[in-house]
Structure 1
């Protein structure tokens, strides 16, 4: 084992140990399900902002996006970033304050519980459906995170892919199952800082090694359509093809996902003071926009390194390891660079873990709180409820490991499907619940089911037809879900006076 490898392993080991320590520390402050699932609504504005974005910016930030930029240029990732940045800002602007207040008025500590409480669903039908949706889509989403960890260690150390995933999963499950939401939020804050340092370090090193900004740009310009938002580079033929309006609509529609992402919306519900959401919005929007732009530039610089023969040319799913390859190159320059490389690789782990922990927590709350206690009406003591929550975290993790066992699976591809599922199933319901007083319980049920089902129908039956049908499944499914809510709500009895009174109370404006 080389000196560089030892330095990297030490850095990663200390990072993982620190995450576990935070989990055990937070466990002392987690005595109820409210603490476990929502941190007692005590998050400060900075923790709220950074934990929300870190939980959102999964391994696709440091693996999917730079890999896609490396492979095909800026069009795909550029329009995706525009959509995600816009979606982030609008979610903070439109949804954050309203759902924070409304969830407190209705006494809701999970998103499925909010759906049922908002529409006075005494039988918790909405909560049960939402819980099933969360389990269906969070298992593959969690699998994507584990796959990112497996690719990291197997490509860097030659470690067995499955072994690497198991080790990573044990750490994530360890601090999530012990410290709950508070541990996930604090670790997410730390992980966002590590991710930022890692991105900046890789960008500077890669640009210098490629010969400077000019050399990076010259290499990119030599590839047809590589730097254009109106065309995309085709590696197989060395040519380009137009990036059509259909493609633009498809990629920009990624931003719709934020309105239905459970682990993202939970941060809005958990902030201590809703008046501080304005600061959180600014911090979150700036950080996420800059971070996504920088990782795209890393992908472009990585392509220049391959063009000069400094790095091997990457193909297919291997392009998602570009930051890992650059870090490996850095580690060969001495002890300090090797330690920096270890920090960078910890940043990649951070991006994966910060999302996986929140996903596991949301799935756990769906089973123990929304299914067992609310839908199935099981009477669980506080202790039994906590045991059920922590057991669910472990079970979901095991299922995620099973789904991610194929090392050739694409992190970006898995995330895009789960993202569409949440955006379409929950997004329309969230927006109508918060902003349309006439929305009814039957309408919400119809919208949630139709949106979720349409994701599968569009992806596997309609999208393969190609042409105008080749659009990303999130947009058509989101529109179908919204339409069903509106139509069914107008055809059914208007909400009760009590529901309307709660809506008006949540609608009351505050100075943001």
Structure 2
């Protein structure tokens, strides 16, 4: 009872802080560019290195890292670690390879979304590509947001014993109210705050778990006696091409970052190239702390045979190994962080409807109103998906992550590298990458996993190479 009181009090305080940030940021929104990208290029506009770096980091992770990745290491073992170099590769490619042109051209040409950047030289194909891109973003983000709602629901159920439906509806309502109050600046600041919360939690809880297990040496000793041999295998116990496929499939997950609007928007909005480089270092440093802590937590939980399904491990460990007061604060803070991730997704979905689709509104205020209404619509559909199409958090997020990455990543990357590609080829690459990724996702087996992550990219790059304008 004492723990629940602390959790409720912390949740209320955290949400009041988010509302305050939203209200403060709302006074700095005077245009569509301000609302969707914090107005980079103007005096005082854009994001600083810490806000951009931490908000990018939080937007890549949250529920699927704290809950999904930890659960995967807990249940499957060392094979899950192939995700880590893939994720860090995505960090480096987006910030350091794609970032220079993405950031510079946004300030020079006034792009508001990453789709603006994608279609800037597409000529007569620009509107068609924009419509297709908007449809794909909405489709994928419904599943992505559903995963976040499910994570919030799982956490509320774990902590308060609520029914799954009540927990999901409550989490969605809190998220939606906050999202409707602020734009991109508010979302970025709160995501940066979320990243800080995650770091603290991912240091405290793993340390407590390792200490409870008797130290790292005791953890590994216990695993050697209790875990199957496949737990320590880099291929999950698979051999030959099946083992290589398992590793390559997980490694290729990092490619998804190259096509995520909610991530690339952060790089577009950074105030300067020097702050972009600092933002990259901040993101990488954050990732090192987070992934190191969560791997230790998963191994410790497995060694002590915590009674959890895997994706609830973080909350179970906090409750088991921390004093009630500290556990209550950590659980509430992480729960709030998981829920607040949706703001960036809803904002990107709203911009897809009101801006990327090419629709024209009678006034800027009407455009912003339609964007907010789109947020509500996407949230409602995502709740329905969460309630009636249940699946584990990890696979639901990876489906939308990989599909969007395959659709947009090759075209955005090649444009950042200076390629000029005919608009028709860009459209074909977008559709081909998406269709191959979605089709392969629905087929079992390691070969299908490789095709989903790598084959979709390969086909897209081939199409772009053939359609390259070399004049």
TM-score normalised over the length of structure 2 = 0.93
Shift of the alpha carbon at 1:259? 0.9
Shift of the alpha carbon at 1:269? 0.5
Shift of the alpha carbon at 1:293? 2.3
Kindly indicate whether the alpha-carbon contact (under 8 Å) linking 2:68 and 2:394 is maintained by their aligned counterparts in 1. Answer: yes
1:9-24 paired onto structure 2 within 5 Å: 9-24=8-23
1:113-512 paired onto structure 2 within 5 Å: 113-121=116-124, 124-222=127-225, 223-225=227-229, 228-232=232-236, 240-242=237-239, 244-306=243-305, 311-312=306-307, 314=308, 318-330=309-321, 337-371=323-357, 374=358, 376=359, 378-406=360-388, 409-460=391-442, 463-464=443-444, 466=445, 468-471=447-450, 473-487=452-466, 489-490=467-468
- 1:96 and 1:411 mapped to 2: Cα distance? 29
- 2:111 and 2:255 mapped to 1: Cα distance? 23
Instruction: Pick which of 422-431 and 98-107 moved more.
Output: 98-107
- 2:125 and 2:446 mapped to 1: Cα distance? 45
- 1:438 and 1:407 mapped to 2: Cα distance? 41
Q: 1:18-60: CA deviations, max 9, x gaps?
A: 2122112211211211111001122001111001111111301
Matched, 1:52 2:56: yes
- 1:422 and 1:407 mapped to 2: Cα distance? 20
Matched, 1:5 2:4: yes
> SS state of the match for residue 391, structure 2?
coil
Kindly indicate whether the alpha-carbon contact (under 8 Å) linking 2:35 and 2:184 is maintained by their aligned counterparts in 1. Answer: yes
Q: CA RMSD in A?
A: 2.0
- 2:248 and 2:138 mapped to 1: Cα distance? 28
For structure 1, list consecutive stretches of 5 or more residues without a partner in the other structure: 233-239, 332-336, 496-512
- 2:329 and 2:266 mapped to 1: Cα distance? 27
- 1:467 and 1:202 mapped to 2: Cα distance? 33
> SS state of the match for residue 404, structure 1?
helix
> SS state of the match for residue 426, structure 2?
helix
Kindly indicate whether the alpha-carbon contact (under 8 Å) linking 1:178 and 1:390 is maintained by their aligned counterparts in 2. Answer: no
Kindly indicate whether the alpha-carbon contact (under 8 Å) linking 2:249 and 2:446 is maintained by their aligned counterparts in 1. Answer: no
When residues 474 and 468 of structure 1 are mapped into structure 2, their CA distance, relative to the original with a 3 A threshold, is: closer
- 2:394 and 2:146 mapped to 1: Cα distance? 12
* Equivalent of residue 67 in structure 1, options 55, 66, 71: 71
Kindly indicate whether the alpha-carbon contact (under 8 Å) linking 1:161 and 1:407 is maintained by their aligned counterparts in 2. Answer: no
When residues 328 and 61 of structure 1 are mapped into structure 2, their CA distance, relative to the original with a 3 A threshold, is: same
Kindly indicate whether the alpha-carbon contact (under 8 Å) linking 2:73 and 2:295 is maintained by their aligned counterparts in 1. Answer: yes
Runs of 4+ in structure 1 over 4 Å off: 240-243
- 2:269 and 2:23 mapped to 1: Cα distance? 21
Shift of the alpha carbon at 1:305? 2.3
Kindly indicate whether the alpha-carbon contact (under 8 Å) linking 2:6 and 2:329 is maintained by their aligned counterparts in 1. Answer: no
> SS state of the match for residue 159, structure 1?
coil
> SS state of the match for residue 304, structure 2?
helix
TM-score normalised over the length of structure 1 = 0.86
Kindly indicate whether the alpha-carbon contact (under 8 Å) linking 1:194 and 1:350 is maintained by their aligned counterparts in 2. Answer: no
Kindly indicate whether the alpha-carbon contact (under 8 Å) linking 2:35 and 2:183 is maintained by their aligned counterparts in 1. Answer: yes
Shift of the alpha carbon at 1:391? 1.1
> SS state of the match for residue 244, structure 1?
helix
Matched, 1:82 2:79: no
For structure 2, list consecutive stretches of 5 or more residues without a partner in the other structure: 41-45
- 1:467 and 1:231 mapped to 2: Cα distance? 11
Q: 1:56-85: CA deviations, max 9, x gaps?
A: 113011101111111111222x11111111
Equivalence for 1:43:
47
- 1:114 and 1:422 mapped to 2: Cα distance? 16
Q: 1:235-283: CA deviations, max 9, x gaps?
A: xxxxx54571121111111111111111000001101112221111111
Shift of the alpha carbon at 1:176? 2.0
> SS state of the match for residue 380, structure 1?
coil
Q: 1:269-304: CA deviations, max 9, x gaps?
A: 101112221111111112113311211211111112
Aligned length: 463
> SS state of the match for residue 320, structure 1?
coil
> SS state of the match for residue 264, structure 1?
helix
